[in-house]
Structure 1
């Protein structure tokens, strides 16, 4: 239990606290808009940015953010080009991100030991610079969502009505993509690029089971996200487990528990 009082573990908890708010919150909008796979797409692009950061000496987290934001603009551009097959934009960008990352990884040898920390997460290695970046992204996301929640609500549930009412739909679509890119970029060091989409989608899936309104969904998704991240970290720390995998499995357990409870209530009634 000494690990719970360690400085590195306290930093991990603080980083988890930040991500536990923003990732599920933005993920709720993505799930409701049927854009769940954007998390996987941008996470693979972010890894390419991280790889380039190692090669060029740029801070990897910053390089990942730049790549993810650029990819978010590209996704929106392709979505407009393929209106009937919008999911093609995600497949194209994801393929490009994986291909670029694989090439960049083969160009460098000295940083190969660091690859796993970004693929599977390494929350215990968060430093003060990481926390400042994560905290800044968290603050920016909360400010944007807090001031634009009505517009985002309308866009999420009826994009055509939003356009008719004069809402700049394209601007808000890009804004959501950029917010997603920021969150994914700072989350890959916590749960890893291969698992980061779980933070966006599973809390949202849980909230859709128990919530009866959009407001309840927002509250539920944040509560579930925070619970899974903080308790997942504690469980992983005490039993020496992989933090990212523990957090995701805890989220899946919560989802299965909620599904079983709903089924049980239906049978009882």
Structure 2
């Protein structure tokens, strides 16, 4: 029996310790990323020089435009940082509202699959409507930032909801049976077993939802009537044929989205450090 237990223990994978090789590998990847970025910028510069058009600005023209928008502001007198902060604020508020609605609903549907099946014919069609399709309705019935938060809630709701349902439904029934045998109340089983088991799945859905929300806000700001936001900044300068400033907005959107995703991943890996993470 002792030998058998020892063999089972030996087969359990343990987290790999941090070594000098891990550090060198990380530095190597950073160096490779730097080289690829430099090659991309060089290729972009060459293409823009060959095309030689104001509608295909090179990286140097975009960098000059970025400094200009940062220091002097855009045609509305607002700086790039102001536009970025407003967009981020809208997304985060909508994201928190969406989590407050989607996670409890997902827990209820995961615990009672029959309830979700009963409502599926109503819920599922809404899941496939793009958030941007709701913009005209949001403009008609809402005012100010409420219209943007409405779009964000719609964009982030279903990724979080479906991830929560899946995570709850995948809870190992053996653990629940053991908890029931030990006298756990239904609430204790949910709080101590179901939720901890489902949290990694819920977190993944939240990260995906945040990305969808960030993409949705830019399109919504282009159509909405407010003066602030990265989407509005890009549209204003597109109407003036200032493609360099439009590209500045695109770069800002991409970089901010990347940073938000990486920060979420860092928190996720720290909270769920007991779970084997996929390094991408």
TM-score if structure 2 supplies the norm length?
0.28
Q: Looking at both structures, which has the greater relative contact order when contacts are Cα pairs under 8 Å and sequence separation is at least 6?
A: 1
